[in-house]
Amino acid sequence: MSEHYLDNAATTRPCKAAVAAMMRCFQENYGNPSSLHRMGLSAQQEMDKARRILAGALGCEMREILFTSCATESTNMALRSTAAAYGRKRKRIVTSAVEHASVKQTLSYLAENEGFEIVSVKPDENGCYRARDFLAALDENTCLITMMMVNNETGHILPVKEVFTAAKRKFPHIITHCDAVQAFMKYPVRPASLMADFVSLSGHKIHAAKGVGALYIKRGTKLRAMLLGGKQESGLRAGTESVPLIAGFGAAVEALSPTMESRFEYVKSLNLALRERLMERPGVKILSPEDGSPYVMSIIVPKLRSEILLHYLEQKGVYVSSGSACSKGAGSGVPETFGATREEADSILRVSFCDENTMEDVDALAQGIASGQREIMHK
């Protein structure tokens, strides 16, 4: 049976370049980068190369890149550091109502334990986010605004650049953080253009390995170490660095950078083809907007619970999810925020593409949904 993997927003298959870089570091350049001998120097050079590649992709300085274990760690560092360094007097944080759990739960912690007021901005009646609604939530008491660039469940694009630029113009003291996990290597992510002080990135979403991420930190922005015990990463993250994973992250970025536009257009064609196929199915609704990211699509298949249909498709070799992988099937509230009813939210499938997908994958999914509607609903 052929397999059709359409869950790339959860994780991607490591690309050949990333695997080659990791194996080189596992087998050859395996020294500790803090060691002063030649093997340590070789490992440090692997890290320097990866840092240089990421800095080039982001249009920033190498010293503005901090390697972490994942985007969740990056986000925790950015938000909690901002709260500690800038939140003694200013206690308001503005965010969107559809953020990843790493943002939501960190902000909940700050509210419950450190007295921060969290203002969560919702989309308008059409499911669109407007910059003016974020700006209306800002005041002199605001220390931070944190927004994702692309929603990981629906593909909605949030107006990060417009909001951050206007926020900095009106309140220059406000710190800005962007979760760019589902945007990096799909859209240009340039922190200077976005007016972002922090940007969170993940390796395994862009064909590198799990266990590595990065945090862009604008030069001059205060950051407090969360891990103590060593001087690694400029003293900001103690612990021996995972050189193989970092090298693989850099290799994946280097491999993907030249093809960003062509990959985007190809994935867009897959997205459009699936939309056309689904329009033929009775009652099926697409929650994701046509002008959203083509890499992510949320589908509502009425009267079929997500978990049941997901496992039905799995038996046919088609792999999708029922929402954010981090929620492990639990409702995140994001579909309802974008206009789905509670009943519809229980019937959502998330399809997420990469350039390795084919029209055969689209056909297999469309056929699987069609047969699922016939067979499951008539049992």
∠ CA 181-183-185, rounded to 5°: 100
Domains in the chain with CATH codes: 4-13+260-375 (3.90.1150.10), 16-257 (3.40.640.10)
Mean pLDDT of 323-329: 55
CA distance 150 to 160: 9
The tens digit of pLDDT for each residue in 134-156 reads: 999 999 999 999 999 999 999 99
Mean pLDDT of 3-20: 98
Straight-line distance from the first to the last Cα atom of the chain, in angstroms, rounded to the nearest whole number? 24
Give the pLDDT confidence score for residue 379 in this predicted structure.
58
326 is catalytic: yes
Residue 74 has pLDDT above 80, yes or no: yes
Mean pLDDT of 251-278: 98
Pairing relationship of beta strands 142-148 and 92-96 according to DSSP bridges: parallel
* Rg, C-alpha atoms of the chain: 21
pLDDT band at 224, cuts 50/70/90?
Answer: confident
Q: Which of 70, 178, 326, 354 is catalytic?
A: 326
pLDDT band at 331, cuts 50/70/90?
Answer: low
Contact 295, 263 (CB under 8 A): no
CA distance 97 to 152: 13
pTM for the structure as a whole: 0.95
- Where is mean pLDDT largest: 30-44, 74-88, 170-184? 170-184
Between the CA atoms of 188, 193, 198 and 199, what dihedral angle is there, to the nearest 10 degrees? -10
- The pLDDT mean for the chain works out to 94
CA atoms within 13 Å, Cβ hemisphere of 104: 13
Q: Is 353 helix (H, G, I), strand (E, B) or coil?
A: coil
Residue 378 has pLDDT above 70, yes or no: no
Give the residue from 149, 185, 188, 353 showing the smallest Cα distance to 266. Answer: 353
Q: Which of 72-86, 160-174, 214-228 has the lowest mean pLDDT?
A: 214-228
If you ran DSSP here, which 8-state letter would residue 229 be given?
A: S
Give the pLDDT confidence score for residue 329 in this predicted structure.
52
Task: Say which residue the tokens 């997420």 belong to.
Answer: 352
Q: Which of 88-97, 184-193, 330-339 has the lowest mean pLDDT?
A: 330-339
The tens digit of pLDDT for each residue in 155-213 reads: 999 999 999 999 999 999 999 999 999 999 999 999 999 999 999 999 999 999 999 99
Give the pLDDT confidence score for residue 71 in this predicted structure.
97
